[in-house]
Amino acid sequence: MNESASRLYPRVTSFRSRRGALTEPQQASWDRQWPTIGRDVADEPLDADTWFGRSAPLVLEIGSGTGTATSAMALAEPDVNLVAIEVYRPGLAQLLQQIERDSIPNVRVLRGDAVDVLENMVEPESLTGVRVFFPDPWPKARHHKRRLLSAPTFSLIASRLKTGGVLHVATDHADYAEWIDETGNAEPALATLDRERSPIGLERPVTKFEHKAHRVGSTVTDWVWGKIEA
């Protein structure tokens, strides 16, 4: 594996490395847009103002999947700069198609490990929001250490949020919900936020994935935490 590829998959901890070929329309959209609005993870700090061509509140979405929530929430918040992070190339390609089809100007995409992005590309106290919708629950006990939303990651996210910034999480997995609730509420820099005081939108579109969860009787739980003053 070359250096570039190894950086995309630096460790198998919080995601499954899924690969897949792009359709011809997806590849065409990728070729047109990736050079401008897409990047792979890297060590240099993220200069969001330059990348977006403006200064605006910055939100990260970790694990954007096929981009259904990303595109809908970006359209609803034209004054927010939204960076979507995903490792699955076909999912990113679908998001790029949506961005192109709907002429969405305020989304950029990063391909790689979100923890790598937070550690090496995002400056402390620079984010207005972080969204983590339906992260992989890694249901087997021996795999719980791979879960993204561990205590160190909550601490890392909190360090990157501005005071008053928001962490919005959702899951449909009951065991992971208990884990998230306990671990997130234990992070001293975060406190449950009154939704009416959120600086970013909290209305998620109901995706096909979430519809499936409802059909099988799974309960979807959301948390909204705010970064408190030290």
Residues with a catalytic annotation lie at 136
Q: Is 49 assigned to a binding site?
A: no
43 marked ligand binding residue? no
145 is in an annotated binding site: no
Cα distances (Å, whole numbers) of residue 5 to 1, 41, 42, 72, 124 = 6, 10, 11, 30, 27
Exposed, middle or buried, 221 (CB in 10 Å: 0-12/13-18/19+)?
middle
181 is in an annotated binding site: no
What is the rounded distance in angstroms from the CA atom of residue 58 to the CA atom of residue 229? 19
Collapsing DSSP states into helix, strand and coil, what is residue 44?
coil
φ/ψ of 26, rounded to 5, equals -65, -45
Residue 116 is labelled as binding a ligand = no
Is 113 marked as binding a ligand?
yes
| Separation between Cα atoms, residue 94 and residue 30, nearest integer Å | 9
Smallest CA-to-CA distance from 68 within 29, 24, 39, 101 is with: 101
Name the amino acid, one letter, at 72.
A
Q: 61: annotated binding-site residue? A: yes
Cα(56)–Cα(78) distance, integer angstroms: 10
SS3 147: coil
- One-letter amino acid at 46 equals L
Is 86 annotated as belonging to a binding site?
Answer: yes
Binding residues for S-adenosyl-L-methionine: 61, 86, 113, 136
Binding residues for substrate: 140, 172, 207-210
